Chain A
Amino acid sequence: MEAENLTRILFVGVVLLTVGITFWASRQSSGASNFYAGGRNFSGFQNGMAISGDYMSAASFLGISGAIALAGYDGFLYSIGFLVAWLVALLLVAELLRNSGKYTMADQLAFRMRQTPVRTAASTSTVVVSIFYLLAQMVGAGSLVSLLLGVSSETAKNLTITSVGLLMIFYVVVGGMRGTTWVQIVKAVLLMTGTILITVLVLAKFHFNISDLLGSAAANTGKGDAFLQPGLKYGGTATSKIDFISLALALVLGTAGLPHILIRFYTVPTAKAARTSVMWAIGLIGAFYLMTLVLGFGAAALLDTGEGSAVANSGGNLASPLLAEAVGGGAGTTGGAILLALVSAVAFATILAVVAGLTLTSASSVAHDLYATVFKKGDVGEKEEVRVARISAFVIGGVAIALSIPAQKVNIAFLVALAFAVAASANLPSLLFNLFWRGFNTRGAVWAIYGGLISAVGLVFFSPTVSGAPTAMFANHDWQWFPLSNPGIVSIPLGFLFGYLGSVTSKEPNADEKFIELEVRALTGAGSEKAVVH
């Protein structure tokens, strides 16, 4: 009980800290540029921290170390895809987007195309990706908090989900992008500190000998050398191998199409600062994933991860918290209680920061793309637009709460992988075509976005994840015909193909002409949005 009380105190601490930051950040900001882009005057380092805070979700912190604890080497494959993906963002997207966009992902497309169709499409995929991602985090929060606090009733879970939802609405409505960014920075500091501490303690148990750590993990799990080799999870059949390639594609191409990551590039004053932010993000995220390797194998070496164990029952999600308890001295000790509470609080802060970023992204897109441009045709004041963004945050938060409660049985990793697949299939093709291909136009953008979106979601609907398998969401029904759980290998090429076909089958002199301005702006920063001066 001692650990649970301590955990409760630290949870309250995290809430008070983030609420305080949000109030502090809201004092100094007003206006659309502050609400949507934090005034564009965060430094590259600050934004790099915030990007890491936005990106390293509970799915990374708990999910990857848990996947390694259960599946050994195959769990590590996730983190490699998640990291390498940042090179797409660094080399091809971050700086060009900073110079050519304003507040949302759609801004950059709408720059040289017909506003209404393109913004409607981009806003739809922004909201879809963000909602999938949001559901994953909130469902995770529900089960995590109830596990950590030792309350398992449905009411307690629903209460947790609702509180997380209300908190994220608060961060966004009161703090806007500025508040959300600071919450993410603080979370990144907490997460890195907590992870470094546990990593060092785990390594110390093995006298800083990685080979011993791996050997103990292989021995303790009873799986031997196979635990350290690829194939334990995905190597079973020819289909599962292709499924893995499909997943790997979505991971490496999805990051640069995630709307909540893209809008972070607008919070810095220049393209060079956007580059610096990604450099910091790559360093922090890379270091973090290297540490999850130690946490995952450490959990496999030091905990019981077999059939029926607490780690296995939680799908791996409890590997890190229980590992912290073990290296702190074990269950029932003060050291164990403190570390368990600490890691739980870090996981909680992680979830809060990510859901805030996602809610802000959706609300911004609804207000800026749909309301101000599509619905009001641009005839709307800045104050009104921000007011609508705040209302949208309430609505989206409410929808997310309402969807999360019945979605509690849905696998979290599946939701995150789906968000990446949609981002890679619907968003990345249109972004890259728009930046690098003069012949791209409105029809191409609309076809790419809807084509990628519908094929990704559609293929998942007909996959064994949804029906026709004992582990499916609807296990008693069978409308499955697509053999893979991950749609990327089909839907990503389709997104590019639709974008190409739409463009070559229509003529749009304006899109062609405006490419000149887009390219000059993207590469030189001429005429790009400037930072707010305080």
Chain B
Amino acid sequence: MTTTESGPAARHDPVYDEIFDSAEFKDLRRRYQKFVFPASVFFLGWYGLYVLASNYAHGFMSHTLVGNINVALVWGLLQFVTTFLIAYLYARYSSTHIDPAARRLEKKYDDHMRGGL
């Protein structure tokens, strides 16, 4: 698909323009971005907050909750929990809201290529 010359990449098959302009593709892209952008802002912010608290909120982080377990440890472990949770939610969201449309559009492309040969 990609050119190997040193010049600019070659003009692509018009089927890509067709798919790109279709309502179904626009919808697919919107649904993908609707999940990943807010999720990325959330986990980066949540991680950033934790890093800043470790640095500048020493008293709060050192507060003991039970036995020798303090806020810092629990918050650190919560970073693990949120990471697992976001990964799980993304996989679930993708398989219902993204994969079916992606497969339909890929099939459209494959049909076009078969017809074109």
Contact = CB atoms under 8 A, between A and B. Distances in A.
Given A80-B79, A214-B68, A279 B91 contact: yes
Interface in B52-91: 52, 54-56, 58, 61-62, 66-70, 72-73, 76-77, 79-80, 83-84, 86-88, 90-91
B79 A230 contact: no
A112 B99 CA distance: 25
B115 interface: no
Contact of A107 (B2, B15, B50, B51): B2
A77 B54 contact: yes
A112 B7 CA distance: 11
Contacts of B36: 91-92
A252 B51 CA distance: 11
A66 B53 CA distance: 24
Nearest to B64: A225
Contacts of B70: 228-229
Contact of A520 (B20, B32, B66): B20
Interface stretch (A324-332, A401-409, A458-466, A509-517): A509-517
A122 to B, nearest CB: 13
A353 interface: no
Given A113-B9, A252-B44, A516-B16, A229 B69 contact: no
Given A241-B55, A524-B102, A228 B73 contact: yes
A84 B55 contact: no
Contacts of A210: 69
A90 B35 CA distance: 12
A526 B105 contact: yes
Contacts of A86: 83, 87
B102 to A, nearest CB: 5
Contacts of B35: 91
A177 interface: no
Contact of B7 (A91, A114, A289, A520): A114
Interface in A369-389: 372-374, 377-379
B92 to A, nearest CB: 11
A116 B6 contact: yes
Nearest to B99: A272
A230 B56 CA distance: 10
B87 A517 contact: no
A514 B68 CA distance: 57
A111 interface: yes
A230 B16 contact: no
Contact of A513 (B2, B5, B11, B67): B11
B97 interface: no
B2 A102 contact: yes
B68 A524 contact: no
B72 A234 contact: no
Interface in A142-185: none
A523 B55 contact: no
Contacts of A113: 8-9
B19 A524 contact: yes
A420 to B, nearest CB: 15
Contact of B3 (A115, A244, A272, A290): A115
A87 B87 contact: yes
A428 interface: no
Contacts of B39: 87, 91
A215 interface: yes
Interface of B: 1-9, 11-13, 15-17, 19-20, 25, 28-29, 32, 35-36, 39-40, 43-44, 47, 50-52, 54-56, 58, 61-62, 66-70, 72-73, 76-77, 79-80, 83-84, 86-88, 90-91, 94-95, 99, 101-102, 105-106, 108-110, 113
13 contacts: A76-B73, A76-B76, A91-B35, A211-B68, A212-B67, A278-B87, A290-B77, A378-B3, A516-B12, A521-B16, A523-B28, A523-B32, A526-B19
